[in-house]
Structure 1
Amino acid sequence: MTFTMVATDFDDTLVPIGGKLSERNRAALERVRSQGVTVVIVSGRTSHGLRAQLERNGVDPQGLYLIGYNGAMACQAWDEEPLFSHKLDLELARRAARAASAFEVALMIPEGRYVYTNWPDHFSVVFEATSNDAEVVPLDSLAELPVEPHKMLIGGEPDVLIAAQQALDAQFGAEAEVVISASFLMEFTAKGVHKGEALTGLCRALGVPLEQVVVIGDNHNDAYMFGIGGCSVAVGNAVPDLLALADRVTRSSAEDGVAVVLDELFS
């Protein structure tokens, strides 16, 4: 099989969460790009946050594509020109926010350079703002939100977040995608808006056959991409549900798992 696109998650896949891109992973990405392979970073982060991470890690954005907001937007990395975008209905977000408030969680609307939140000093909000070079904007209510959101992000301790995810999915599963993306973060997007849908749309826009795509991920929100491409790869630190879906398992994100599998597939 000839692969012409690599679509990889960022946090805990390409880079250990909160960490830096290793020299081996950087070299592997540059090598496959030099061979004409299209590389796509697929993440829950905003496009602004992904650009900030590329700059921090010295990655040339030219020719690179970004899928951000957990699939709600796709853009060209070099100029952040959107290819498509799917917004979250604000009234739905408000209803979900009221339901989520029954749990000890932080509610966030990350949009561009800002993170709008009801809990500015919560650890998940601090992480979201700091790692994405974003400014925290406190809100008493989403009724004050000055933008139309792409998604709502919910942060909390792992056990609390699991309970909240189950409750929100039971209540809003027919209207929205409710999925955990990190041990302390949960994504809330419009129904049908997820990484798999976005990757399919990007491939259609670029004329890339899905069977020529290698997908790499670690968490529940990456499961939407698994099975739609020609090869689905889980890093060794992936959640058990994703490991069960993978065509192959590589080393963990801390052990340069992305580089290992790229070396195997693009020798």
Structure 2
Amino acid sequence: MKLIAIDLDGTLLSSQLEISDVNRNALLKAQEEHHVMICSGRAPEDIQAVLKEFNLQCDLAGSNGTVVYSKGKLLSRVSISESAVKESAALLDKKNVPYKLYTSEGIYVLNSWAERTTAALESLDGKHSISEAEYKRITEQPKADGAVKLFDSVEELLNKEGLSIQKFFILTLDQALKEELLPALESIDGIAPTSSGPNNLEIMNPDGHKGQGLQIMASHLGIKMEDTVAIGDNFNDVPMMEAAGLSIAMGNADPDVKKLCDRETLTNNQDGVAHAITHYIMG
């Protein structure tokens, strides 16, 4: 195997959002013989911040594979059409659903994020498993900084010259609402919904997914797809697992995801990535 694609949340990152020394050392060891890329639903800027924190350097496919970078060079960017952006946003705004936009100019968060998340949680009337700390984090209004910007409506972003939108990250705290939104989003031309966790939906261009991100990187490096590996835990990882020569599910992966994979490793809190590299790749 020559190219290893690794997801972040629920995979390389522990529940405390850390890369353990065991995983880091295994990744560095793998890089001596293999090309390693991070393939995550996170925005490229967020991925880079995580890698920098743990003193790692990897190529990446961010925003669920819609944006691909190798050695800092942009290889590909797949965006959502203007009409699909407008229709998707209109649906979410009508339902007062909180969402973020991953764009070519960073992450844009609604000015009404705190208002919408608070309303969503209050509608559950305490019937949720969110801790007090998590409740506070979710309902806190993000502040504008270098990577995060605020907006009121998609219209103002679509009017920005050169800006394109790669992904909607939709917070769905109410499972009944999530089940209602999914078919409605699937009916919109030009988008493909997926999920990276129980409390979210993510929508991209149908041609923008982790499988495409892996294929673009493999083609750039001159590596055959049968010589690639994908390691992940959730439904947004499925396209790269289906595309890779070898697919490895985390021990904490969704059971339906596990069924699709060739191998299963330990959980993200048991250094599952290191175990996969040692036993299924390097070995």
Please classify the TM superposition score into its range, dividing by the shorter chain length: 0.7 to 0.9
Q: How does 1:187-226 map to 2 (within 5 A)?
A: 187-226=202-241
Matched, 1:135 2:129: no
Which residue is equivalent to 1:10? Answer: 8
* Count of residues paired in the alignment: 254
Inter-CA distance 115–21: structure 2 relative to 1 (3 Å threshold):
same
1:73 maps to 2:72 = no
Stretches of structure 2 lacking an aligned partner (at least 5 in a row): 118-136
Partner of 2:282: 266
Counterpart residue identity of residue 95, structure 2: F
Q: Does 1:95 align with 2:87?
A: yes
Q: 1:118: Cα distance to partner?
A: 4.7
Q: Deviations over 1:155-206 (max 9, x none)?
A: 121613343223312x12x521110112222211112211112211221121
Match of 1:229 in 2: 244
Please say if residues 10 and 42 of structure 1, whose CA atoms lie closer than 8 Å, have aligned partners that are also in contact.
yes
AA of the residue aligned to 1:142: V
Matched, 1:117 2:115: no
Alpha-carbon distance, 1:17 to partner: 4.9
| Structure 2 residue 52 is the aligned partner of structure 1 residue 58 | no
Runs of 4+ in 1 over 6 A off after TM superposition: none
Asked whether the 8 Å contact 1:152–1:189 carries over to 2, the reply is yes
Q: With the length of structure 1 as denominator, give the TM-score of the two structures.
A: 0.87
Letter in 1 for 2:40: S
**Deviation, structure 1 residue 120:** 3.1
Relative to structure 1, is the Cα distance of residues 33 and 126 closer, same or farther in structure 2, using a 3 angstrom cutoff? Answer: farther
Q: Give runs of aligned pairs for residues 110-189 of structure 1, distance below 5 A.
A: 110-111=102-103, 112-121=105-114, 122=117, 134-137=147-150, 139-145=151-157, 146=160, 147-157=163-173, 159=175, 160-169=177-186, 171-172=187-188, 174-189=189-204
Q: Which runs of 5+ in 1 are unaligned?
A: none
* Aligned position for 1:85: 77
- How far apart are the structure 2 equivalents of 1:18 and 1:106? 24
CA distance in 2, matches of 1:7, 1:70: 12
Distance in 2 (alpha carbons) for counterparts of 1:258 and 1:180: 21
| Of 216-225 and 15-24, the range deviating more from structure 2 | 15-24
1:26 aligns with 2:44: no
Report deviation, 1:43: 0.7
Q: Secondary structure at the match of 1:233?
A: strand
Q: Is the 8 A contact 2:99 2:113 kept in 1?
A: no
Structure 1 212/194 Cα, relative in aligned 2: closer, same or farther at 3 Å?
A: same
Q: Secondary structure at the match of 1:192?
A: coil
Question: How many Å separate the matches in 2 of 1:179 and 1:101?
Answer: 19
Higher relative contact order (CA 8 A, sep 6+): 2
* Cα 1:203/1:124, change in 2 over 3 Å: farther
Give the Cα–Cα distance (whole angstroms) in 2 for the partners of residues 152 and 90 of structure 1.
13
CA contact (8 A) 1:106 1:118 kept: no
User: RMSD between aligned alpha carbons?
Assistant: 2.2
